[in-house]
Amino acid sequence: MALPRLNNDVNYNLVIPSTNKEIQYRPFLMKEEKTLLTAMESKDNKVIFNSLLDTIKSCIKDDIKVNALTSFDIEYMFLQIRSKSVGETAKVGVNCNKCQHLNEIEIKLDDIKIDIPDINKTIQLDDKITLEVDWPSFNDLIKSDIIEEGEITTDKIFGMMQHCFKAIVTDDERINLKDVSKQELQDFIDSMNAGQFSKIRDFIESIPKLQHMIEFNCTGCGEHNKQMLEGVSNFLG
């Protein structure tokens, strides 16, 4: 005798931050949660983020290129799926700024938003050369091993540059950087001066991210804390 089929066909809507496109999704099922938990236990960032990507692909109902979405799209979409799958709140551990005591804080996932800055995606490098840039895809960052959260270091910026650069424009031509070898692009990057590099850094640091300000009184020492949580791993509970 065949077992009955569970009816879990419940759909929700969300808006992709970078495109403003509305899509449908379903909560993740036990098979996907098992994969996510196994990935989290590995403590390998690449495994964890690939697992997030695979979960989103499974849960999205619309035909979209998930691999081409930005890192903040993926983080936001996963958080929305997680809120409908496991619960709309998450308990996270946060260390006190004063005594480092670990406090358990409950946050509402619906309160976590992404602000998309109104930013110019062309960078004037000198009088004759303009650089067209865009936010890198989540998949590019995974493949380049620069998906780790935390402070944006100089090494990360150099690693992200090639994924942000789209075209070089001069008075005479527009060069699509997909048609340029990695070595040619690296030589171009190496020829930049400090001022030009600073403009690139400003753009990369403007890439949106999940952020949520929390306030709490430490249960260990009573100190009032105000801290900013950033990145999807801080909201998984």
Q: What is the pTM of this model?
A: 0.81
38 to 1, 45, 86: CA distances (angstroms): 32, 12, 16
pLDDT tens digit sequence for 36-67: 889 888 878 788 888 989 999 999 999 999 98
Res. 236: pLDDT tops 70: no
Q: What is the mean pLDDT of residues 139-163?
A: 71
Q: Which of 189, 202, 207 is nearest to 147 (CA)?
A: 207
Is 160 in contact with 70 (CB distance < 8 Å)?
Answer: no
Contacts of the segment 41-45: beta carbons below 8 A, 24+ positions apart: 45/147, 45/148
Least confident of 98-102, 148-152, 153-157, 186-190: 148-152
Res. 73: pLDDT tops 60: yes
At residue 155, the 3 state secondary structure works out as: helix
Q: Work out the pLDDT band at 81, boundaries 50, 70, 90.
A: very high
Query: What is the chain's mean pLDDT, rounded?
Result: 87
The pair of structure tokens assigned to 202 is 């400003």
* pLDDT given for residue 39 in this prediction: 87
Q: Work out the pLDDT band at 14, boundaries 50, 70, 90.
A: very high
Q: Which of 64, 71, 209 is nearest to 142 (CA)?
A: 71
Q: Work out the pLDDT band at 96, boundaries 50, 70, 90.
A: very high
